[in-house]
Amino acid sequence: MRTPFVAGNWKMYNTVAEARHLVSEMVPGLQAIIGVEKVLCPPFTALLAVRALLEGSDIGLGAQDMHWEPSGAFTGEVSPPMLAELCQYVIIGHSERRTYFGETDETVNHKVHAAIAHGLTPIVCVGETLAENEAGRTSEIVSRQVRQGLYGLDLSSIGEGQGNTSLVIAYEPVWAIGTGRAATAEGANLVVSEVIRPALLEMFGEQVSQAVRVLYGGSVKASIAAVFFSQPDIDGALVGGASLKVSEFVPIVQAASR
Ligand code: PEP
């Protein structure tokens, strides 16, 4: 049994003051929902303030990216130990990082190794572009991203509780992110069941392939979340735009608890 998992990726939205306001409004609704691992991923600048507001709750905190080196002359970057002081999760390889900031499967791989080494749970994003989708290359691209992004990991060493591993994958077709055009739930489930879990099976064996939570991401809204969560291989969602609204994000998390 995989515990449902829903994370909100705030992207580059919310100052510290705005973050405090949003979290204060969101916490009571989220706290009332049981049986779902819930995570908020604000910008770096708001991590400390949001952490203080989440203290004592069962709501986790994550960052949206990090460098893989523990320290060094990398102006503007944030390291794994810096994050490990503040939060438990980190999104890695989001398509916006791949598209706008030159992130590759190789950098994703460095970051995933570093996250796990520092006790952070990586939420690793994979997904094909529209052109790749239209060219019938979805399986090839997603399979490559999983295999290269997770290459060389020893997943037997990372925590397992209640049948889950502390590695999470988000299948996010690039054409569905922020466009209002979500994938179909059946289509997304097929990519997870036919591409992502088989790649995990080949790389890490049966137990890991069944224990890793795989999320769907791409224009998830409260009105469509339940359809995705009813799919057998989709274990939750990585939510962008809708995670900035209490009236959207709380019902999405609620849908995952059923
Ligand atoms: C995301 O940022 O990972 C995402 C899926 O965004 P949105 O929900 O806005 O499409």
Rounded distance between C-alpha atoms, residue 78 and residue 201, angstroms: 32
Asked if 113 is an active-site residue, the reply is no
The closest residue, in CA terms, to atom 8 on ligand 1 is: 240
**Rounded average pLDDT over 81-106:** 98
DSSP assignments along 152-179, one per residue: T--GGGS-EETTEES-EEEE--GGGTTS
Give the closest residue to 35 by CA, choosing from 214, 255, 215: 255
Overall size of the chain counted in residues? 258
Tokens representing 125? 């994003």
The closest residue, in CA terms, to atom 6 on ligand 1 is: 240
Active-site residue, from 96, 103, 128, 172? 172
pLDDT in tens, 7-29: 999 999 999 999 999 999 999 99
Sign for the CA dihedral angle at 97, 98, 101, 104 comes to: positive
Rounded distance between C-alpha atoms, residue 64 and residue 89, angstroms: 9
Active-site residue, from 37, 94, 113, 248? 94
pLDDT in tens, 227-254: 999 999 999 999 999 999 999 999 999 9
pLDDT at 157: 66
Give the closest residue to 253 by CA, choosing from 94, 47, 28, 24: 28
DSSP assignments along 70-103, one per residue: SSSS-TT---HHHHHTT-SEEEES-HHHHHHS--
Say which residues have a Cβ less than 8 Å from residue 3's Cβ, sequence separation at least 6. 35, 36, 37, 162, 163, 164, 213, 235
Helix (H), strand (E) counts: the chain: 12, 10
Ligand 1 probe mutation, 10, 124, 219, most atoms within 8 A of CB: 219
pLDDT in tens, 124-176: 999 999 999 999 999 999 999 999 999 999 887 666 655 788 899 999 999 99
Asked if 94 is an active-site residue, the reply is yes
Is 56 exposed, middle or buried (CB count within 10 Å of its CB: 0-12, 13-18, 19+)? Answer: exposed
Say if residue 256's pLDDT is above 80. yes
CA angle 16, 111, 137 (to 5 degrees): 105
Answer whether 219 contacts ligand 1 (Cβ < 6 A): yes
How sure is the predictor about 258, in pLDDT bands with cuts at 50, 70 and 90? confident
Q: Is 168 helix (H, G, I), strand (E, B) or coil?
A: strand
Q: What is the pTM of this model?
A: 0.97
Tokens representing 235? 């274990």
Answer whether 177 contacts ligand 1 (Cβ < 6 A): yes
The most distant pair of C-alpha atoms in the chain lies apart, rounded to whole Å, by: 48
Answer whether 244 contacts ligand 1 (Cβ < 6 A): no
Rounded distance between C-alpha atoms, residue 80 and residue 116, angstroms: 9
Sign for the CA dihedral angle at 17, 170, 172, 129 comes to: positive
User: Mean pLDDT of all residues in the chain?
Assistant: 96
Answer whether 252 contacts ligand 1 (Cβ < 6 A): no
Say which residues have a Cβ less than 8 Å from residue 108's Cβ, sequence separation at least 6. 92, 93, 124, 145, 148, 149
**Rounded average pLDDT over 66-91:** 98
Task: Provide the pairing of β-strand 121-126 with 89-92.
Answer: parallel
Other CB atoms within 10 A of residue 164 CB: 19
Answer whether 93 contacts ligand 1 (Cβ < 6 A): no
